[in-house]
């Protein structure tokens, strides 16, 4: 049964991507957000979650929660601005605009640093996270999912605990800057979601990462829907 469901997801995913690619060929990020949402972002999010073993991954959280249409375009515009500011203020961060959200990745060479087997926020990480907190304060209508990940060195249990401690340390630091606790969700996955090859030192270093999914709050979604209705 699971194999059959997977095949159905793949078919829907491929069809959605084909439509989205054609419709967004000459579009900016805001317009892409609208088209992807209308094409069925929840389906894509389901496929991503199914493939990773958890529907609440950063990428799945972003794409699975799209509004779509004109409202999605308005949200996409807000996210374009926020993503651009993150790129400017934190050059080392890997910032990707996806649908109506932003995926930000920090690995060992890009702004949030942890000493080996440690999870305390050191001075270099503080500088990055202070800048990030300022941006989140500037854009209060976005919510943030923070994820911790590790490589596969050591036991599975140890890595899960380490990723938990690191993700919670990042969340705790940002909350200490006065940000609203209700905007944040924290998850950890240990070694279970590698993005790179764990057989190489470079790949392991990139897998030791903290990922953020930045998405529209419910308030922003409602505001965008009302603004879209007024534009009709």
Predicted pLDDT of residue 178: 97
Q: What is the mean pLDDT of the chain?
A: 80
Predicted pLDDT of residue 142: 96
The percent of residues above 90 in pLDDT, for the chain, comes to: 61
Per-residue pLDDT for 140 more than 90?
Answer: yes
Query: Model-level pTM?
Result: 0.77
Per-residue pLDDT for 74 more than 80?
Answer: yes
Per-residue pLDDT for 48 more than 50?
Answer: no
The percent of residues above 70 in pLDDT, for the chain, comes to: 76
Residue holding tokens 């897998």? 207
- Residue range 126-131: mean pLDDT, rounded: 95
Integer Cα distance of 2 and 123 in angstroms: 47
Integer Cα distance of 73 and 216 in angstroms: 12
Give which of 71, 69, 48, 72 is closest to 58, Cα–Cα. 48
Model confidence band, residue 12 (pLDDT cutoffs 50, 70, 90):
very low
Q: By the 8 A CB rule, do 63 and 99 touch?
A: yes
Tell me the domain boundaries of the chain. Answer: 2-231
pLDDT digit string, tens, across residues 188-231: 999 999 999 999 999 998 999 999 999 999 999 999 999 999 98
- Residue range 28-33: mean pLDDT, rounded: 46
Predicted pLDDT of residue 213: 96
Predicted pLDDT of residue 19: 39
Report residue 149 as tokens: 């990940």
Does CATH number 3.20.20.140 belong to domain 2-231?
no
Vertex 79: Cα angle to 73 and 83 (nearest 5): 145
Predicted pLDDT of residue 59: 85
Predicted pLDDT of residue 155: 96
Give which of 189, 200, 111 is closest to 157, Cα–Cα. 189
């Amino acid at each position: 049964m699971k194999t059959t469901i997977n095949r159905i997801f793949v078919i829907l995913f491929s069809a959605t991507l084909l439509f989205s690619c054609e419709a967004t060929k000459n579009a900016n990020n805001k317009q892409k957000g609208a088209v992807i949402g209308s094409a069925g972002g929840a389906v894509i999010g389901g496929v991503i979650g199914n493939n990773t073993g958890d529907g609440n991954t950063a990428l799945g959280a972003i794409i699975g929660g799209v509004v779509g249409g004109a409202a999605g375009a308005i949200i996409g515009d807000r996210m374009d601005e926020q993503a651009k500011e993150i790129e400017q203020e934190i050059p080392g961060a890997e910032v990707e605009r996806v649908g109506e959200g932003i995926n930000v990745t920090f690995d060992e060479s890009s702004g949030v640093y942890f000493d080996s087997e440690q999870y305390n926020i050191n001075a270099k990480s503080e500088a990055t996270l202070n800048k990030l907190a300022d941006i989140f304060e500037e854009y209060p209508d976005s919510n943030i999912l923070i994820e911790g990940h590790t490589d596969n060195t050591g036991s599975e249990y140890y890595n899960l605990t380490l990723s938990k401690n690191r993700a919670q340390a990042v969340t705790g630091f940002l909350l200490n800057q006065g940000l609203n606790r209700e905007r944040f969700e924290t998850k950890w996955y240990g070694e279970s979601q590698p993005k790179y090859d764990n057989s190489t030192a470079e790949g392991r270093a990139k897998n030791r990462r903290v990922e953020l999914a930045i998405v529209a709050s419910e308030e922003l979604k409602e505001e965008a829907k009302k603004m879209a209705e007024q534009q009709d």
